[in-house]
Every structure is written in structure tokens, then in C-alpha cells.
Amino acid sequence: MADFVNSGWGLFVAIVTLVSIAFTFVLALAMSKKRAPGEEVGTTGHVWDEDLAEYNNPLPRWWLYMFYLGCAFGLVYLVLYPGLGAVKGQLGWSSRGEYEQEVAEANAAYEPLFAKYLAQDVPTVAADPEARAMGERLFLTYCTQCHGSDARGSRGFPNLTDNDWLGTGDPAYIQTTIMDGRTGVMPPMAAAVGTPADVENVANYVLSLSGSAPDAMKAALGKEKFVACMACHGEGGVGNPMIGAPRLADKIWLYGGSLATIIEAITKGHTNQMPSFKDALGEGKVHVLTAYVWGLSHSEGSGTAK
């Protein structure tokens, strides 16, 4: 991949571009020879239906002038704007610069509105209909790819509409997660648990914690081996929000609650990452988005859990 950002590619692009314009000009010049008065026009040698011949008439002058104007326009454009590899052009224009200018103009227009909400706490913002509508649009733009348009998540991506959080779930936690991102890691635990049979026993014990119907004998054997998991998930699988370790004593699963998926999690572990949106959104938009996400699991943003 590094080859495509090498400075030599800029020179290559510049040469190909200039040669293309030069070739177009020479081709037009070669076709600009006028037919002398009275000169008989020859054919190209192509004949169809015995007598339908293709004559070799010169191109119309207006057509040739369009070629010349096109070449001249191309050269002027390449002097003023970037088009010759790394050459920036005399006007200094760039698509990145135009984008940054548009973003700056948008921020100047919207920052006062976001500043108003930034001065309010999250529950207050979540209760504001206008702020919720803004937060929803931000969510649909930046968050639906993982959490879904209804915020109910999918395999490996948490449901944001309930009160089962990998962390504390309070406004500060949500805002920090959106701003800085989060990496969730469960290491492979098969070696710590023991044999494949021990892994299956622990998986059955985990199922028993959520009130599922595991193999009772295997679950009883797995309880002793579960001690390897208690450092994160706690005794009885109650979880640890401070380190993002999920609660296992319920029927809410991030990767699935079947015996096979639990065995897979113990054996291979899981790694998942939420990116940081600090640079993309800024503090004001993150605050509004935080209020929207927090409000999804609270009735009308009042702070009353569903």
C-alpha cells in the first residue's frame, strides 16, 4: 500500500496527463488539413452493399476548434487547480480545504445551538424534543451501522434501549464512551479452565446462572472451574460494570446464549471495539448524542428506568 503514496506516482500522473493532452492536440492538428479546391476526395477503402463507400473528408473546422479549446482549457485548469500529481495549482484549492471550510461554516452556524445544550445536564437535554430529534439524526448518521436504526444492536453490538450496560450506563459513562471509544476484550480462557470437558462444564454452569436449562450434572462440575472467570464476572456471574465485564446471571447475551456460543466465547475469547467520535463530532454534538442514547433506556428522559 505504501507504493501508492510514493512521490513517484505524482510524477507518473503528471506525465500521463500532459502526454494525453499533447496527443489530443497532435491528433487534431493531423486532422486539420484542408481539402484543396477541386481536389477529389478519396475513400478509406471501406465499402458496404457494393457501392456504399466511406469517404475521407477532413473534419469540420468547428469540431477541430473544440479540440483546440479543450486542450487549452485543460492546460489552464492544470495551472490553476491540482491535477498534475503533487502540484497544488496556483489557486491553492483542494477538496480537503473546501471540506474543512464547509465544516467550519457549519460549525459557526450550529455551535451556538449546541452550546445551549452543552450548558444543560443530560436528563434535561434528553427531555427536550428538539434536542432528541437532533440526537436521533446524529445517531442515524454515526451509530446505526453497528447498533441498528432502532438501537437494539445485533450480535456483538449492544442493545442501547434497555438498562443492561457493560459499564455503569450513567450519562458520564455514555459520554466518555462516545468521545474516547471503548475496546472490550475477553481473553481466551480454555487453558485457564482446563480440558475441553471442563470448558463444556463451565458453559453449562453459565447457562444455569441465567435460568436456562443446561445439563445439571455438567453445570455442577463447572461451578468449581468457574473460579477462573470470577475475577471479571464476579461470584455467581453478577458482572463488574467498572471494567465492562457483562452480567451472566440474566438472559441478555451479546454474542448469543446457546451452549455452542458460550463454549466458543470461553475457548476463543472476544474482542470488540467502538471507535472514538471526539474528532468527528466535537463536544457539543457528543453531548446531544449522549442525551439521546441515555434517553433510549429512560422514559421521556425523566430518569425513570423502563
| pLDDT of the chain, 306 residues: tens digit per residue | 455 566 788 888 889 999 999 998 998 888 777 666 666 767 777 888 777 888 777 778 888 889 899 999 999 999 999 988 888 889 989 888 999 899 889 888 888 889 999 999 999 999 999 999 999 999 999 999 999 999 999 999 999 999 889 888 999 999 999 999 999 899 999 999 999 999 999 999 999 998 888 899 999 999 999 999 999 999 999 999 988 899 999 999 999 999 999 999 999 999 999 999 999 898 999 999 999 999 999 865 433 332
Helix (H, G, I), strand (E, B) or coil at 45: strand
> Strand, helix or coil at 39?
coil
pTM, entire model: 0.70
Amino acid at 87: V
Q: What angle do CA 132, 133, 139 make, to 5 degrees?
A: 85
Q: Spell out the residues 6+ positions from residue 21 whose beta carbon is closer than 8 angstroms to its own.
A: 71, 74, 75
Q: Answer for the pair 49, 3: CB distance below 8 angstroms, yes or no.
A: no
Q: Which residues does 56 contact at the CB level (< 8 Å), separation at least 6?
A: 41, 42, 43, 44
